[in-house]
Amino acid sequence: MATGSTFPIIRRLVPCGRHYSRLSDARSLTYMPRPGDGDPRPVTFIPGDGIGPLVTNAVEQVMEAMHAPIYFERYDVHGYMKEVPREVIESILKNKVCLKGGLMTPMGGGVSSLNVQLRKEFDLYASLVNCFNFPGLPTRHENVDIVVIRENTEGEYAGLEHEVVPGVVESLKVISKFSSERIAKYAFEYAYLNNRKKVTAVHKANIMKLADGLFLESCREVAAQYPSIQYNEVIVDNCCMQLVSKPEQFDVMVTPNLYGNLVANTAAGIAGGTGLMPGGNVGCDHAIFEQGASAGNVGNEKIVEGKKANPVALLLSSAMMLRHLQFPSFADRLESAVKRVIMDNKCRTKDLGGNSTTQHVVDAVIAFLD
């Protein structure tokens, strides 16, 4: 998983630019693959809506330039469809991994979100978004490196709504012990495996005493099993205030469904923008990788027509996918190239203060590939 602290730490330890260059180019300890690990892997590929085809094409070009051991099975899926086509479901079932662009979700009406459909179909109960500072990209706050882990299958996204009487709608928020416990376990396991020091549970148990109270109870029980990891809790409204005033205090955050969407997009904006932050959705058997923060993942007509979408978030999400597929050296090369492009400060899209096209960024990333 990418962290925002890697480059600054190296600069502090090795102040000489020449030595820093040698250190950053050095190989890590040898990765010993199992026989057959180098066989090309199929990945279900959904370009999606809006800027989706632009940024997914960016990933295709970079993967081809790296000769990455994957190949894509492409399917046209769009947010206005009533359901995900069966052949797409079967492809993900077979391949177990999917890379997708944003899918538009219609406002109101009877069409449900295909993004939510996919999460429920494959029980992708954990959403992970990594929000961190990039070396060379000034932001209001420094030392931001937050991982937001969001329960992905219930809460307000359960889709249980009905009209009680004309003019009165009831929407149910579903919280279960089972789902709360497994997302808490995932968050602490992630922290343990990635040498993270603290897990913060985000809640509104002061008002929703039963629902969010059950979520907190589950988090506390799991936290007791990880005594080496600090655990604390924050009410969601205070959490938002703390994020915009002192975001560096947060490490791993675990949240119910709706809060996680709000917190992840806020953290992404603080760290540099939603066009930069990678993410994915994972369950026991399947994973779907996409832009981490949902805001802007479809873009607008002007960005699409100008072909100026920022591909960085999806490129880094594809690096996460490569690690998930046990191709760590390819993931390292891709992540390093993307960070070098941003540090170089010559090729940036409009959201980062530049005027580059998507293709300009892709060409720069390919040029920086080791």
Q: Which residue has the tokens 């009533």?
A: 82
Kindly state the helix (H) or strand (E) to which residue 301 belongs, with its residue range: helix 301-306
Supply the pLDDT for residue 110.
Answer: 59
- As a dihedral over the C-alpha atoms of residue 41, residue 46, residue 52, residue 54, rounded to 10 degrees, the angle is 50
Supply the pLDDT for residue 323.
Answer: 95
Supply the pLDDT for residue 84.
Answer: 94
Rounded distance, CA 194 to CA 236, Å? 25
The closest of 114, 170, 176 to 151, measured between CA atoms, is 176
Supply the pLDDT for residue 361.
Answer: 97
Q: Report the amino acid identity of residue 227.
A: P
Supply the pLDDT for residue 166.
Answer: 94
Rounded distance, CA 266 to CA 102, Å? 18
Cβ-Cβ contacts under 8 Å for 2 (sequence gap 6 or more): 130, 132, 278, 316, 319, 320, 335
Domains 38-126+275-369 and 140-271 agree in fold = yes
The closest of 185, 118, 129 to 157, measured between CA atoms, is 118
Give, as one character, the DSSP assignment of residue 111. P
193-215 burial by CB neighbour count: b if 16+ within 10 A, else e?
eeebeebbbbbbbeeeeebbebb
Second-level CATH architecture of 38-126+275-369: 3-Layer(aba) Sandwich (3.40)
Supply the pLDDT for residue 25.
Answer: 54
Whether domain 140-271 has CATH 3.40.50.2000: the reply is no
Supply the pLDDT for residue 298.
Answer: 83
Give the pLDDT of the chain (370 residues) as one tens digit per residue. 444 443 333 333 333 443 434 444 556 667 788 898 889 999 999 999 999 999 999 999 999 999 999 999 999 999 889 999 999 999 999 999 999 999 988 776 656 789 989 999 999 999 999 999 999 999 999 999 999 999 999 998 877 888 899 999 998 999 999 999 999 999 999 999 999 999 999 999 999 999 999 999 999 999 999 999 999 999 999 999 999 999 999 999 999 999 999 999 999 999 999 999 999 999 999 999 999 887 777 878 889 999 999 999 999 999 999 999 999 999 999 999 999 999 999 999 999 999 999 999 999 999 999 8
| Burial grade of 353 (CB within 10 A; 0-12, 13-18, 19 or more) | exposed
The answer to whether the beta carbons of residues 125 and 179 sit under 8 Å apart is: yes
**Strand residues in 204-318 grouped as ranges (E):** 230-235, 252-255, 278-282, 287-291
Domain ranges of the chain: 38-126+275-369, 140-271
Q: Which residue has the tokens 């030392």?
A: 143
Supply the pLDDT for residue 158.
Answer: 76
Supply the pLDDT for residue 244.
Answer: 96
Supply the pLDDT for residue 26.
Answer: 59
Rounded distance, CA 94 to CA 42, Å? 9
Supply the pLDDT for residue 146.
Answer: 97
Ramachandran quadrant class, 36 (left: phi over 0; alpha: psi -120 to 50; beta: rest): left
